[in-house]
Chains A and B, each alone.
Chain A
Amino acid sequence: MPPDATEETFDLPGCLARVRQSDQAAARELVAHLYPMVIRIVRARLPRRAAEEDLAQEIFLKMFTRIDQYQGSVPFPHWVSRIAVTTCIDQLRAQKRRPEFRWADLSENEADVLDAVLTNDGDVEAGDAMAAHELVHKLLDQLKPDDRLVLQLLDLEQKTLAEVSELTGWNITLIKVRAFRARRKLPKLFAELQKKERV
């Protein structure tokens, strides 16, 4: 997920060299350059109720702390995106209590969408796409952070196993196993929801 807009004009190696010499102006330039990529990752994986700017700040501070460990084996934006993803997972793990998923808490649109997919009763209307998107995130919130991430990347964002591996640092077999286990939990979640609706 490299930032492509200013990629060609921005002198990343030069900027990194200056940052390593504790040049604050270079650090500011680096943050401004990488912010769009980092904020996209944060917004896609942000735990609910967490402030995106605080999380972005934490990611950049980790980046500066570990910058001497960067060996250049992968492009620098990829290295930063991995820090961003793992920081988001850590944040999700820290949020021990996951919000309870109840039918009564869903909006009217979300309830309609859920009803449609559960009863197999026709297609979800195009206008309900946002509600469906929100619903997917509410369902993912019920899973463990690692399971949630793997399903979000593979199923929702349709990334390849190699891309997920690059982002998370997990090997392909582990990703497949996590995805398999996470998908097995979903029918159980849907069944619980249907049961709760009837009560």
Chain B
Amino acid sequence: MNTSLSPWTRLLAAARRAPADLRDESAPYGFAARVGALAFAGREPTFSALFARLSLRAVGVCALLMVAGVALNFSSALNAFEPDLVSNNDPVSEWIDASSAS
């Protein structure tokens, strides 16, 4: 070898004769799936996605309120279909009945 070469150059020449790295270069099992999932986990939601998510929540809350409303007012709703007893004691109708009888 040329003796005028620096130690660094001589060392590099020797290092380049090292065999190539033969380790497996394919992704380890589950790596791509993990990274793919992590990549989207931290992403900011788009407006349409946010709207869809909030709309779904709103629909859920509305459905709950509706069920609660029906449950709380069930007896009143039932009463609405019963015969109107109040009208029997209505003073106006009684007066009309009385005047027609006389």
Contacts and interface: CB of A to CB of B under 8 A. Distances in A.
Interface in B8-47: 8, 10-19, 21, 23, 25-28, 31-40, 42-43
Interface in A123-163: 123-124, 126, 128-130, 132-133, 135-136, 139, 155-156, 158
Contact-size category for A = 35 or more
B92 interface: no
Contacts of B1: 122-123
B25 A64 contact: no
A1 to B, nearest CB: 12
The majority secondary structure among interface residues of chain A is: helix
A61 B38 contact: yes
Contact of B31 (A31, A65, A133, A136): A31
5 contacts: A31-B31, A35-B26, A122-B1, A132-B18, A190-B7
Given A24-B36, A136-B12, 17 more contacts: A22-B40, A24-B37, A27-B35, A28-B33, A31-B35, A35-B25, A35-B31, A36-B26, A43-B23, A57-B35, A60-B39, A117-B8, A123-B14, A124-B13, A130-B18, A132-B11, A155-B8
